[in-house]
Amino acid sequence: MATPAVRMFRRLEGLFCVYKPPGVHWKLVRDSIETNLMKGINATPSQPLPQVVHFLAQPDSESEAPRELALSTASVPTLAKHPLVTGPEFKHVRVGVGHRLDAFSSGVLVLGVGHGNKALNEMYKTRVTRDYTVEGEFGTATDDFAHTGRVVERSTYDHITQDKLDRVLAMLQGANQKALLMYSNIDMSSQEAYEMAVQGLLGPEGKSVPILTGLRCICFQPPHFTLEVQCINETQKYLRKVVHEIGLELRSTAVCKGVRRTRDGLFTLQDALIHHRWTASDVMHAIYQYHASKKMKNQKIKMTASQQNETNGEAANTME
């Protein structure tokens, strides 16, 4: 029979996401959550100690007359099974980390517990896209493309307008769309390619170079600007380099002021647990919601497929 701690661990198996603040390494986030989960699991009520029967000698009588030894039985707990002797039931809880965020970046960080680690691997074998908001500033270039790096150049930016910025973004997105088609390994004239493009499933097979599937400016207040980016196989350093290249294309310079991930696959900022909610109970609730949403999505897919089959059947009957 499973103990309360084991039953709680089983309810914690799955995927969830947290909000990683900037300036914190992802390993610290993972270690903090592992510690909190282990404390929550081991805080569950322990099972009653097993009882054993002991034979106890009766106290001697005051009389000196010889008599047979009298014994009595008593049920006593097995102290060898006591938590203070055996220690906590769970000494380690492994939490897997999905697509990582560097210390400079913030946003949605997907984690997995138990069999959720397998789901995490399967999730990233598919064409999962991620969304970011990237903040930039014109007029400065640094050695690592971030505003905290060593300044290597300063330049003017008064000539930059939002129209010019939008044209550069459109050029970059066009170049990345060609790369997306090149790495997809699918005949672009086929029906399969059309259906995948409609469903947003068109993407590279396996590992590829970073590809931007969407790029637009959502805020332009020179020298500051903010970009909304959708991408595949990216790193945060690559996104900072994109900001640097945008500055060069506009005959100026630019540094990245911040990178924040707003979506990773199915997980968004609304699903992310902030720091004070990195507890076992909140994680359990988040994993329950993930399973519920995944089940609902599968039902919608089956329903859509059924409707499509009915439509195809009606069309075939009409042609006959």
Q: Which residues belong to the active site?
A: 102
Q: Is-contact 259 106, C-beta < 8 A? A: yes
CB atoms within 10 A of CB 297: 11
- Give the Cα separation of 146 and 170 in Å (integer): 23
- Give the Cα separation of 199 and 250 in Å (integer): 34
Q: Is-contact 240 86, C-beta < 8 A? A: no
- Give the Cα separation of 168 and 280 in Å (integer): 46
Q: Is-contact 29 37, C-beta < 8 A? A: no
What stretch of H or E contains 164?
A: helix 162-184
DSSP 158: T
- Give the Cα separation of 173 and 167 in Å (integer): 10
The secondary structure of 55-91 as a DSSP string is: EEEPPPPSS-S--PPPEEEEEEE-GGGSHHHH--S-S
